Structure 1
C-alpha cells in the first residue's frame, strides 16, 4: 500500500503527517510526502525541512518532495486538490491522508479547499485530519 500525505506547512497538515506515519506503520505501507506550490521559496524549504525532521524522528525513509504548479492563481486550494489527484492517478497511491483547516462555507466558496476537492473526486480513500 502507498500512502500520500500532502503538507502545506499548517499545523493541521503536520497533524496529518503524524497520523500518516502511524497509519503507514500499522498497515506496513509506504509513506510519501508532497508539498504542492507555485514555486520553491524559503518557506518551501522550511516546510520540507520540518517534514524531514519529523520523518527522521520516526525512522521513516521517505524524502518529502515539492510538486510545482505555476497555475495556482485562481482558487489555489482547488488547484492543489486537482494536483494531488493527478499525483494519485500517475503514481497509483492507495490512500491519501490530509489535514483540513476547517474553513467555513464562504471561505471554501472564495478560495476552495484542497481536501474537499480530493474527497469529492471519490477516486481514492481519504482520511481527513482536523
Structure 2
C-alpha cells in the first residue's frame, strides 16, 4: 500500500504524519511525505527537517519532498487539494493521510480547504487527522 502524507508545517499536519507512521507500520505501507508550496523558503527547509526528524525517530525509510508546482490564488486550500489529487493520480497512491485545521465556515469560504477538496473528490480513501 502506498500512502501520501501532505504536510504544511501545522501541528495538525504533523499529527497526521505521526498517525501515518503508525499506520504504515501496522499495515506494512510505504509513505510518501510531500510539502506543497509555490516557492521554497527557509520555512520549507524547517518543515522538511521536522518531518525528517520524526521519520528518523520512527525508523521509517522515507525522504520528504517538496512540490513547487502549486499556483496559489484566492482559495489556496482548494488549489493545494487539487494538486494533491493530481499527485495521487500520477503516482497511484492507495490512501491519503492528512491533517485538517477544523476551520469554520467563514475560513472555508475564503481560504478553501485542501482536506475538504480531497475528501469531496472521492478518488482515494482519505484519513483526516484533526
Distance (Å, rounded) in 1 between the aligned partners of 2:70 and 2:96 = 23
Shift of 1:74: 1.9
Per the normalisation by structure 2, the TM-score is 0.98
Cα distance change on mapping 1:70 and 1:94 into 2, 3 Å: closer
Distance (Å, rounded) in 2 between the aligned partners of 1:7 and 1:105 = 22
Question: Unaligned 5+ residue runs, structure 2?
Answer: none
Shift of 1:70: 4.5
Shift of 1:71: 1.3
After superposition, the C-alpha distances for 1:65-108 in whole angstroms (9 at most, x for unaligned) are: 00013511221110000000000000000000000000001110
Aligned partner of 2:64 in structure 1 is 64
CA RMSD of aligned residues (A): 0.6
Per the normalisation by structure 1, the TM-score is 0.98
Shift of 1:59: 0.5
The runs of 4+ residues in structure 1 deviating greater than 2 Å are none
Aligned partner of 2:8 in structure 1 is 8
Question: Unaligned 5+ residue runs, structure 1?
Answer: none
After superposition, the C-alpha distances for 1:29-74 in whole angstroms (9 at most, x for unaligned) are: 0011000000000000000000000000000110000001351122
